[in-house]
Amino acid sequence: MASIRACLRKRATSENKHSIFIQITKDRKKSIITLGHNIFLKEWDEKLQRVKKSHPNSAWLNNLIAKKISEATDKLIELETNNTDTSSRVISRAFKATKESTFLKQAALYLKRLKDNGKGNQLSADTSRVERFKEFLGGSDINFSEIDVPLLKKFQSYLKGTRDVTERTIVNHLVVIRTIYNQAIENNLVDRKHYPFGKGKIKIKFPESLKIGLSAGDVKAIELAQVGEKPHHARNLWLFSFYLAGMRISDVMRLKWSDFHNGRLYYKMGKNAKADSLKVPEKALAIIEQYRREKPIHDLVFPDLESLKDLDDDIEVQTRIKTRVRKNNEQLQKVLEKAGITKTVTMHIARHSFGNISGSKIPVQMLQKFYRHTSITTTMGYQANFIHDKEDEALDNIVGF
């Protein structure tokens, strides 16, 4: 059984006062919960673990101490009843988290963690999703036990009724709610028995998305399109991404001259930090030669991020990339018009186009290496969007009479 008692911190403040805290001891390991109040050493009764009457607010402080000890004890009993870990640290964390036991307070902690970890794109997207759920709740907070299956179904209907959203968008909102709910369970704020996701409840399944890439003829048309005497930056970015096995445009914009050695490119992918090297095709070398300049800012190959002061600021970098991708997508449309391509094409379609043209020509293990996928299953699922040979042959065999 853990022991829970009130104590004074030995080290005094600059005013020669000592902090009151609750000490939790379990298996000789200690954890503390600070109450945020300081008193003089002479005002503390060590034996009775309470503030002496000589303190002007002794009654109020002693009531606070008794309340906090009671809450910590209740939390310990709750954890033991649910067969949960009852180490001193877990009890302390669960007790502290009780103050933040509502959805919006936990959502704020979740978003702060994204910001602290430099997850700018996810922070931007998930902030909007939390705001939409808050809007659905009428601006008020809610306890996790109140987030049940009927409520989530109403939220799905609300999104469909108030916004022109896809099924994927609705799923993305549910994923954020589930992530925050799991965070609350991890912090012992809610019993797992209230969990509204899973079998027989709200099942989260991502709808299959259709990935369409350009053909080799389309890419050739983009290469040859007459768009003026000056090199066209958006076309250069798109083609460079394609030539480097569909490198993500966010990684293309981050490339530095120091990443190139002896005709090879050495870089770490931003999405999953996988590092590898690729031979730089002649066509790609011809593109980057157009950007040779003395003392480029931040040693960047392409100029899209040169206006930033600090490339280590992940949030700022991701925000700038998002802006530049949008601008380059707009500029790319001029190239498509000249090339006679009417399909919807963005910077990311360069990756799909590489997948489409490679088809079943390249072993899946090599494609996994190109794409930097952690699992070959991911590569197989991705490439399935572009391999239709067997289906086409089977269909011809049936109707080709």
pLDDT at 24 over 90: no
- Residue 262: which region, alpha, beta or left (left: phi > 0; alpha: psi -120 to 50)? left
Strands in 3-8's sheet, in edge-to-edge order, are: 3-8, 18-26, 29-39
> How far are the Cα atoms of 20, 92, 272 from residue 31, in angstroms, in the given order?
14, 6, 36
Q: Percentage of the chain surpassing pLDDT 70?
A: 83
Return phi, psi of residue 191, to 5°.
-75, 135
8 A C-beta contact, residue 213 and residue 344: no
Mean predicted confidence (pLDDT) in 54-60: 90
Return phi, psi of residue 312, to 5°.
-85, -10
Q: Which long-range contacts (CB under 8 A, 24 or more apart) does 35-41 make?
A: 35/64, 35/65, 35/68, 37/61, 37/64, 38/13, 39/8, 40/16, 41/8, 41/12
Domain ranges of the chain: 3-98, 101-194, 216-392
**C-alpha to C-alpha distance for 319 and 316, rounded to whole angstroms:** 5
pLDDT digits (tens, 9 = 90+) for 379-399: 666 566 655 566 666 656 667
Mean predicted confidence (pLDDT) in 82-110: 72
- Residue 225: which region, alpha, beta or left (left: phi > 0; alpha: psi -120 to 50)? beta
Q: Global pTM?
A: 0.60
pLDDT digits (tens, 9 = 90+) for 270-293: 655 666 778 899 999 999 999 999
Mean predicted confidence (pLDDT) in 346-358: 86
218 Cβ partners below 8 Å, 6+ apart?
A: 339, 341, 343, 353
pLDDT at 97 over 60: no
Mean predicted confidence (pLDDT) in 4-28: 88
Q: Which residue bears the tokens 């360069």? A: 350
In CATH, the architecture of 101-194 is: Orthogonal Bundle (1.10)
For 92-167, where are the E strands, in sequence order?
A: none
**Tally of CB atoms within 10 A around 242:** 25
Mean predicted confidence (pLDDT) in 200-223: 85
pLDDT, averaged across the chain = 85
In CATH, the architecture of 216-392 is: Orthogonal Bundle (1.10)
pLDDT digits (tens, 9 = 90+) for 133-157: 999 988 888 888 889 999 999 999 9
Query: What's the pLDDT band for 267 if we cut at 50, 70, 90?
Result: confident
